[in-house]
Homo-oligomer: A and B are copies of this chain.
Amino acid sequence: MSAQSRRKSTAPKLRGRVWVEIGGAPALTEAGADLLEQIEAWQSLSEAARRLRFGYRRAWMLLDAMNRRWPEPLVETTTGGKRGGGSRLTEKGLLVLRAFRDLQLQAETLLDHATGPFRMSTRS
């Protein structure tokens, strides 16, 4: 290990995680937000699951839990029709996803700015 990589490995790094709970249960997590984002991009739960390398069952259960925990669904699924149905975010789903991404960004900014004190050294 080089001196540089050794120095890097002892640099403290601030980490953080945010999520939304409803009634004490997770209603939106980082994985859930990723799933919503991919559903919005592909209008398809199975394609969203593939892109995230989630098993379809895992993706379905994650989405079902989110839809049940919020007072109104975040995703609506249409069946049949010429294009064989699909999934898309409701207006509420879009608002919640955007607010969550914004919150994640604010949290990252906070952690970036707060790193200073953890870098201090007895040399100073």
On whether the beta carbons of B18 and A14 are closer than 8 Å, the reply is yes
Chain A contact residues: helix, strand, loop or mixed: mixed
How far is it, in angstroms, between the C-alpha of A87 and the C-alpha of B44 when the chains are bound?
A: 57
Contact with B along A15-46 (1 / 0, CB 8 A): 11111111110011000000000000000000
Q: Is A52 an interface residue (CB 8 A)?
A: no
Q: How far is the CA of A14 from the CA of B28 in the complex (A)?
A: 9
Contact-residue bracket for chain A: 35 or more
Judging by beta carbons under 8 Å apart, are A11 and B15 in contact?
no
**Could you tell me which A residues sit within 8 Å of B by CB distance?**
9-24, 27-28, 70-72, 91-92, 95-96, 98-100, 102-103, 106-107, 110-111, 114, 117-118, 120-122
